[in-house]
Amino acid sequence: MYFLEDVKYEALELPDRATMTDAEMITSAEAFSTFMTQRHTVRDYSDRPVDEAVIAECIRAAGTAPSGANHQPWHFVAISDPDMKARIREVAEEEEKAFYAGGAGDEWLKALEPVGTDESKPHLTKAPWLIVIFAQRWGMTRDGHRYKNYYVPESTGIASGFLLAALHHAGLTSLTHTPNPMKFLNEMCGRPASEKALMIVAVGHPSEDATVPAVAKMKKPMDEIMSVNPAPTQGNDENKK
């Protein structure tokens, strides 16, 4: 990413600064919250193509995410080639067959029932684009020195969230897919051993008859996902484990 000798601390004046009133902030926050409630995980895609430039700009946005030591430990492989998508689907479905045949365990399979998924993954070939997200466990400087990346899962997870939001902002729908194991994606995508595939994101436009499972609209209430100035727990042995 850089030459070691070029890395030094330099303070820059904040280049971008939001200047909103309190009322404008709450209006903006509410508008974004409403906008994000309109993002849906979709498994049914239309044949409508998506320009590569749109995908590139969404990935560019994902690349602005914060990361440990600013190492940006991620790589996004965008795939539109039908043959490559077909190979990915073939291998992924083989893994999914074992998963749904009992490899996942009864509890996990029971949890997935309301979502309505099975080993068939037609979205992997129907969606015009697949984006494979790789996490880089270590990197190389331009002069050939290996360096460690920090907070890799956290950093790549944040970047993945940026990507999903950017795709939604561009008017696209997406689906995150995590076949396990995913080692086959390194060779298929020409990525080095220093990287680990985290997920495949199917991207495109929903079909006319696209559906979502009803359970997907059931979100936890605010009192279950947010606490404000909580009192510390005392004497709870469970919290000490």
Domain ranges across the chain: 60-209
The answer to whether the beta carbons of residues 239 and 79 sit under 8 Å apart is no
CA 178 to chain centre: 10
pLDDT, residue 3, reads: 57
Alpha carbon distances (Å) from 162 to 27, 136, 171, 205: 21, 17, 14, 19
Q: Which tens digits make up the pLDDT trace of 98-152?
A: 888 888 889 988 999 999 989 999 999 999 999 999 999 998 888 888 999 999 9
The answer to whether the beta carbons of residues 188 and 84 sit under 8 Å apart is yes
Helix (H, G, I), strand (E, B) or coil at 28: helix
The answer to whether the beta carbons of residues 31 and 164 sit under 8 Å apart is no
CATH class of 60-209: alpha beta
Whose tokens are 């595939």? That residue is 197
Q: Is the pLDDT of residue 241 over 60?
A: no
